[in-house]
Structure 1
């Protein structure tokens, strides 16, 4: 029987992915609205409410790392991660790069443009895909995995965790100082702390669970309300100083908010209504595909809307626009992932090919409960 923690993992995965798709479809520009409009504050609130997904995914990654890494040598574990995660990521990121830059570059060449222009177009596309779109996540994830594998002898050390926290804090301060490019997608050391934190949650899960169970859900809701308010205020200040990334994931207020949201989900536990979304089998596929639809599908279906039109939206107009974008992207992505899941192309979303029906002349091999548990846990990782 699978460990109880895996229900918690599936719940976090599903809710975190819903939040990330909502964020990507709700984002309509950094400087569309002005602080003197009510729509400005409603817009910031709509983004802040779903800004916990990225940090939650790193925590979950660390949790699963602690659960599975002991079974393999460091090199073998990293190899498995690359095989199951990197190959689908490479396919979809290259597909996005092709749509964004490679195909346009070829069209430019055929129309008489210079080779230099074509190369610069592809280079711009590569930076956009791997540094500024959602495809940055797997690069950072594999980096965090490598760091923890190389530091396994220190993984239980709180001093090591504090050092990682200081690295994260550097990026939080850098949002204001801009010593280096203040984009969380380029914060290569910024998320290792949350990966390490997931390991600690795994190692001390029973104590943590016992502690948060004693806390009323109302206190969690109050804490989240306060941290959402602080997150909106911090983002508004960063807007006022024309920050490059005013809704940066590594803002101090957003870190506290994300950890509070994570704790609340862990506290609630029961999200059985999410089971029909099959988070264990669909989450990674949705992560890989949805951003391509945000970029290429939404403009075709909903048309390009200029900044002046967006700026004239009322609060209800904006929320309707955001919800429509989310509904279209999530629904179509989910359908695509389900179709791939049951086909020979299931490797594109990180799943093994469906097993073929075996003739009755060759009875199925009996698998022990222990082997079945390991297989389930490996897939969950």
Structure 2
């Protein structure tokens, strides 16, 4: 009996490895210094930019699948209200705390400008400025994820009675594909950060994976590694192709949108490959279970508020840089951002009274 329990525990360790990899991809993605909606004109430069951006675009969908898997572990032992309260304490309260920190740093920047005699719109139109910054944080930064995540959980809990019905999965998948199609028709805003129903399917998929875990695990073990790698490479190629097509169509739509249909397939196949690789033991030493969410909350604040203090005096901007130069800068920004974020989370977790601010 104890051997069976231990075996299941080892199998579930894949969650920590995938969490770690997913947050790495998200921090790398956000560390870019590419010009917004300005793309290189030469094909070689476009290809370098696209490969760099698309390669790491599986992280968000991976997070939703893992979260759904963990929900499946508790769905029958916890009431909906109890579960939401736990999520509020462990997820929403830290999110609110770091939004306040983000706002304080934004206003501190403008206070410095004001005392130096500069023009400060924050003080000229305080209410509209405050509202614009709230919208910026919630819609345009990584903080969008938590509201969408909690909303997605709430939707699944509303349909709890039908959770294992496959018609629910088909409906939720259709909602996700709608956002893929919308990239070309723009019926509604195209940003994946405002895709209210765009990610619920992947949460549901994680729940179904948990319910059928032994069958899923057996199926993955029967798949050979080489064909799976080839399949991931093919889906990556098509995701890059779609991004380049959008980029060269003259559209202002984000060509690296997470909910591109090709990126959805690439993300799902990448998840299968990472699961096949299994638990990576050295990752466990970094304790991703207690650090991942904190890194997610802190990293964008460092990118938006701290990195400019370093880059502005050095006059490092995207202007005039080749795509290769920008890749090197991106990885430098990533290393600084991730290491500082991880160190802060590590130190906060050492202080019992405040460790709640990095959640779980």
- How far apart are residue 277 of structure 1 and its match? 1.9
Q: Is the CA contact (8 Å cut-off) linking 1:234 and 1:253 kept in structure 2? A: yes
Q: Which of 135, 145, 157 is residue 149 of structure 1 equivalent to?
A: 157
The equivalent of 1:349 in structure 2 is: 358
- How far apart are residue 209 of structure 1 and its match? 1.2
- How far apart are residue 97 of structure 1 and its match? 2.5
Q: Which of 118, 130, 141 is residue 122 of structure 1 equivalent to?
A: 130
Bigger relative CO (Cα 8 Å, ≥ 6 apart): 2
Q: Equivalent residues in 2 for 1:1-381 (5 A)?
A: 3-100=9-106, 104=110, 117-240=125-248, 241-303=250-312, 304-310=315-321, 313=322, 315=324, 317-343=325-351, 344-350=353-359
Determine the C-alpha separation between the residues in 1 that align with 2:120 and 2:61: 46
Q: Is the CA contact (8 Å cut-off) linking 1:106 and 1:118 kept in structure 2? A: no
Q: Is the CA contact (8 Å cut-off) linking 1:26 and 1:46 kept in structure 2? A: no
Q: TM-score, normalised by structure 2?
A: 0.91
- How far apart are residue 74 of structure 1 and its match? 0.9
Q: Is the CA contact (8 Å cut-off) linking 1:172 and 1:250 kept in structure 2? A: yes
- How far apart are residue 306 of structure 1 and its match? 3.3
Q: Is the CA contact (8 Å cut-off) linking 1:105 and 1:121 kept in structure 2? A: no
Where structure 1 has 5 or more consecutive residues not aligned to the other structure, the ranges are 352-381
Determine the C-alpha separation between the residues in 1 that align with 2:167 and 2:62: 22
Query: Per the alignment, do residues 302 and 292 of structure 1 end up closer, same or farther by CA in structure 2, a change over 3 Å counting?
Result: same
Determine the C-alpha separation between the residues in 2 that align with 1:103 and 1:83: 30
Determine the C-alpha separation between the residues in 2 that align with 1:6 and 1:94: 35
Q: TM-score, normalised by structure 1?
A: 0.86
Q: Is the CA contact (8 Å cut-off) linking 1:201 and 1:208 kept in structure 2? A: yes
Deviations 1:229-269 (A, max 9, x none): 11111111111232332211000010000001100111111
- How far apart are residue 224 of structure 1 and its match? 1.5
Deviations 1:57-78 (A, max 9, x none): 1111111111012221111111
Q: Is the CA contact (8 Å cut-off) linking 2:110 and 2:122 kept in structure 1? A: no
- How far apart are residue 314 of structure 1 and its match? 5.3
- How far apart are residue 218 of structure 1 and its match? 1.1
- How far apart are residue 212 of structure 1 and its match? 1.5
Query: Per the alignment, do residues 50 and 349 of structure 1 end up closer, same or farther by CA in structure 2, a change over 3 Å counting?
Result: same
Query: Per the alignment, do residues 260 and 27 of structure 1 end up closer, same or farther by CA in structure 2, a change over 3 Å counting?
Result: farther
Deviations 1:51-110 (A, max 9, x none): 000001111111111101222111111111101111101100221133235863897699
Q: Is the CA contact (8 Å cut-off) linking 1:340 and 1:349 kept in structure 2? A: yes
> Does the residue aligned with 1:306 lie in a helix, a strand or coil?
coil
Q: Is the CA contact (8 Å cut-off) linking 2:239 and 2:262 kept in structure 1? A: yes
Determine the C-alpha separation between the residues in 2 that align with 1:48 and 1:314: 14
Where structure 2 has 5 or more consecutive residues not aligned to the other structure, the ranges are 1-5
Q: Is the CA contact (8 Å cut-off) linking 1:175 and 1:243 kept in structure 2? A: no
Determine the C-alpha separation between the residues in 1 that align with 2:78 and 2:341: 33
Determine the C-alpha separation between the residues in 2 that align with 1:105 and 1:124: 17
Query: Per the alignment, do residues 179 and 314 of structure 1 end up closer, same or farther by CA in structure 2, a change over 3 Å counting?
Result: closer
Query: Per the alignment, do residues 48 and 41 of structure 1 end up closer, same or farther by CA in structure 2, a change over 3 Å counting?
Result: same
| Alignment coverage as a number of residue pairs | 348
> Does the residue aligned with 2:219 lie in a helix, a strand or coil?
helix
Q: Is the CA contact (8 Å cut-off) linking 2:15 and 2:66 kept in structure 1? A: yes
When the two chains are superposed, the root-mean-square deviation of aligned CA atoms in Å is 2.2
> Does the residue aligned with 2:320 lie in a helix, a strand or coil?
helix
